[in-house]
Amino acid sequence: MDRLDELLRDAKPYYRKRKRARRVWAATSSLCTLCFVCLFSFHTFNTSHAPIYDMWTDEIEQLQVGSVIEDMGLPVDEYGLLKVV
């Protein structure tokens, strides 16, 4: 019995050291996982590609729809430009 108590006293510091190391490892891995999840959640994924609007897009749309000058009642040529009489 005395021999068993002596072995337990000898093993107690090693057991505590190993237990502390496991806690540190668990805390570190949890923190790394949390950081990864936070960084991953802030990353936005562009699943749909929005069309690029520039000045030519508006010009093409106006040509397809009609002439603004013609809508105002002014004389226009076949291209929808103002006709000088």
Separation between Cα atoms, residue 57 and residue 73, nearest integer Å: 24
- Asked if pLDDT for residue 79 goes beyond 70, the answer is yes
Q: Give the pLDDT confidence of 3-26 residue by residue, as tens digits.
A: 888 888 888 888 888 889 999 999
The first and second tokens of residue 36, run together, are 């990864």
Q: What's the whole-model pTM score? A: 0.41
DSSP conformational letter for 72: T
- Asked if pLDDT for residue 53 goes beyond 70, the answer is no
- The 10 Å CB-count burial string (b at 16+, else e) for 64-85 is eeebeeeeeeeebeeebeeeee
* Count of C-beta atoms within a 10 Å radius of residue 39: 9
Q: Give the pLDDT confidence of 37-52 residue by residue, as tens digits.
A: 888 887 766 556 656 6
Q: Give the pLDDT confidence of 61-74 residue by residue, as tens digits.
A: 766 777 778 878 88
The first and second tokens of residue 27, run together, are 């805390």
